[in-house]
Chains A and B, each alone.
Chain A
């Protein structure tokens, strides 16, 4: 465990507190990843800053064009949010596959993103939603497409002390799906996962975003497959074509959870099933 944990009560207090803290420091949100990493000997910061109580990060709010989900909102709160159910079809479909009910009472989307694991169910779905991350460092705020936040396993584009305030999801009526292949039906880590959102009009794809989990060093935005699908009729041929294309876009590895070839093949199968469900 770290030597100390500090608990600012709001963002202003956090920024004021930073200069007096040990240089070796990390943020603590839901704790489900960082405490596990600590117990496994993979996290050794001197100081953790508990941002789980910051009121600025705990809100879900709608503006004219987007839905904002604060980085500190618990996954189980998103599960109960009517606004999220309406505007985030892929995320809504992903939540039952996100760990277990008790871990969903603790974990946050901000932590899921900052941990930058390629298998993170929440952020894979959020990438498919076309979300932007809102970041803050003292007075400076910036907005980053979520897909650009991830640089590799456990590596993000976050600057030292930068906080993820939350995620902006465009409010557009669309359909979505999240399909996960794991070792069992629930509470497993995925071998491969596919998240899709699509706006379909008269059977033709107008906008689409395909994202994949556990088959690349980062939660993958399948840009080529997504672009190829636009303005195509969602026929059996189109679905088969997209399924072939996505297999060339992923770069899975063989590890304890699955093999690279199997994962690649399953990306095609999962995307096919997801697109079929959206075509119906």
Chain B
């Protein structure tokens, strides 16, 4: 078998995972990045690509409950795991999540590009540590850049959503 032929067989991957609570199985190009899979194949455009090198955190999603940068993960690495994107973060009863509400009331959203990543990172923290202190919140958000708000409003929004 020639190398290109053998490569052709390996270029497709049968990916099984859960997306925002629903099990799914898809044949994907094996070299697809996770963010391409999310935005292109799943059509979930809430996740943003900012820097593409893990610095800004705009692309954060939850994989098995942990915040990861989807620009640096490959789609095959989602196999057998559970993905939650910003579209899957909802309040009880399906309405807005407490973090989404507090980001709005505290004015923590300006251009909005970093917001999905900030909410995903904050959600990962509050799930793991519902009593997170301001210092815990600051440390957890070291990987999220916002160029509009100056962070104070973001921090108070996460504090306000704590325990809700």
> Which residues does A use to contact B, with CB under 8 Å?
1-7, 20-22, 28, 31-32, 35-36, 39-40, 46-48, 50, 52-53, 76, 96, 99-103, 105-106, 186-187
Contact = CB atoms under 8 A, between A and B. Distances in A.
B50 interface: no
Contacts of A186: 139, 142
A76 B142 contact: no
Interface string B103-145: 0000000000000000001000000000000000001101100
A5 B142 CA distance: 31
Interface residues of B, number: 33
18 contacts: A1-B33, A3-B11, A5-B13, A5-B76, A6-B10, A22-B7, A35-B71, A46-B7, A50-B77, A53-B79, A96-B139, A100-B142, A102-B57, A103-B72, A106-B69, A106-B73, A187-B142, A187-B143
A103 B38 CA distance: 19
B3 A100 contact: no
Contact of A35 (B11, B33, B76, B121): B33
B161 interface: no
Interface string B61-89: 00100111101111011011000000000
Given A4-B11, A22-B7, A186-B139, A31 B66 contact: no
A36 B57 CA distance: 14
Contacts of B6: 20, 22
Nearest to B61: A102
B10 A102 contact: no
B30 A105 contact: no
Given A6-B10, A106-B68, A101 B53 contact: no
Interface in B17-60: 30-33, 52-54, 57, 60
Interface of B: 3, 6-7, 10-11, 13, 30-33, 52-54, 57, 60, 63, 66-69, 71-74, 76-77, 79-80, 121, 139-140, 142-143
A32 B77 CA distance: 13
B7 A35 contact: no
Contact of A36 (B32, B53, B74, B77): B53
Given A36-B54, A100-B142, A186-B139, A5 B73 contact: no
A3 B54 CA distance: 22
A2 B31 contact: yes
B31 A1 contact: yes
A187 B141 CA distance: 10
A99 B143 CA distance: 8
A124 B154 CA distance: 34
A101 B140 contact: yes
Contact of B143 (A1, A2, A31, A101): A101
Contact of A102 (B32, B52, B74, B121): B121
B74 A31 contact: yes
Given A4-B10, A22-B7, A103 B76 contact: no
B31 A5 contact: yes
